[in-house]
Amino acid sequence: MTNVFVWDSESVHPVGDGITVLWRAFTTNILPESVSIPQLIEEQADALRGRYLTWIYEFGEARISGKRLVDHLELRPGFSYWWMTLLVEKCNYSKSPLITDAIRFLAFTDWAVGCSVTRLTLASANQPLAECLRAWCEKSGIEFEWQCLPGPVVSLSWARRVYAALPHPLQALVWLLNYLRTRWPLRGVGLKAWCRTEGRITFVSYLFNLVPEAAKAGCYESRYWAHLPEVLKHESCQTNWLHLYVRDSLLQTAKQSATVLKAFNRAEHGRQCHVTLWIHFLAQV
């Protein structure tokens, strides 16, 4: 008979009734006997990743009225909308943050199997997590209680509030217009060189982590790619670099990014070709 107290917060956790499970944090000296879900994930990373990927695959292969879900979503022969969904993209960084909780849930249920849990108390501001654990407890015959913590306070500007109140089609139009406005200086940058390039190796990455001193001198050096661009250049290997523009502390505007990309292309004389992902679409506008 075991009571479990799940603490889903980054603040200092209280001492719960029974076993304390840290949903987000590693075990500390304050409560050394607690169970850390992140630690369990570290120890079983390969197995948990495999289980999650298998689950997503089997979900797409599930048959409804004798037909796979992937086939139900087919847009044209050989291409299904399934492959464009967030489930398949699996971007837990920004688009699907609850993927992290799904992995944590797998680790938690594995641990709970041998604990004879009779009561589970969740302290969290995460309603989807509460609903998930409530359903699991009901299925497992476990008493459940949700202690709702206050969520983070998000202060929105008046423009953001107006945008959020718009119907989704209008939100999409506003987003597109703002996207074009903020990235218009990148239109056509490097496109002619891209069409003429003889490079057979193409790298795709975000346009940040640049070395500031090198960027000012018109030389492409990236902390992410380290010495790889320089090594390829010394080996006389022509390369193509397709950049995803995001604003950062060095390149705060698309105009600054366009200037830097032009400098890269001038300095390398065809050994490197630098463009941004959206060029091919906007070049026709």
Q: In the predicted model, what is the mean pLDDT of residues 153-166?
A: 85
Residues 6 or more apart in contact with residue 65 via CB below 8 angstroms: none
What are the boundaries of each domain within the chain?
Answer: 2-148, 183-282
Q: Indicate the average pLDDT of the chain.
A: 89
Q: Using CA atoms, how far apart are residues 272 and 214, in angstroms rounded to an integer?
A: 15
Question: Given this model, what pLDDT does residue 180 score?
Answer: 87
pLDDT of 283 above 60:
no
Looking at the chain, the whole-number percentage of residues with pLDDT higher than 70 is 94
Tell me what pLDDT residue 27 has.
78
Backbone angles phi, psi at 216, to 5 degrees: -65, -30
Binning pLDDT at 50, 70 and 90, where does residue 16 land? low
Using the CB atoms, write b or e for 39-66: b if 16+ within 10 Å. ebbeebeeebeeebeeebeeebeeeeee
What tokens were used for 215?
Answer: 């960027």
Average pLDDT over residues 230-241: 90
User: pTM score, two decimals?
Assistant: 0.69
